[in-house]
Amino acid sequence: SPAALAYYLDASSPAWLLSIGKSLDIFSLWSLALSGFGGAIVAKVKPMQGIMVVFGLWLLYVIVKTGLATAFS
């Protein structure tokens, strides 16, 4: 998808870079932001706290995914 950074990377790029590039998709980031706002409303906390929790969990997922891509490439 042209919305992901990996679309613009060469296919011979390292696996870890392609993994991160696939995660940096404008639509995924937008849905994470909306999930953070929604979570903040439901939890009755400040919007930034909800966004930080959602992005923190996403960042943890990306780190694990990138590590696995590196380990098995």
pLDDT tens, residue by residue, 12-37: 999 999 999 999 999 999 999 999 99
Phi, psi of 48, rounded to the nearest 5 degrees: -65, -35
Residue type, 63: I
Q: What is the pTM of this model?
A: 0.86
Radius of gyration over every alpha carbon of the chain, rounded to an integer in angstroms: 14
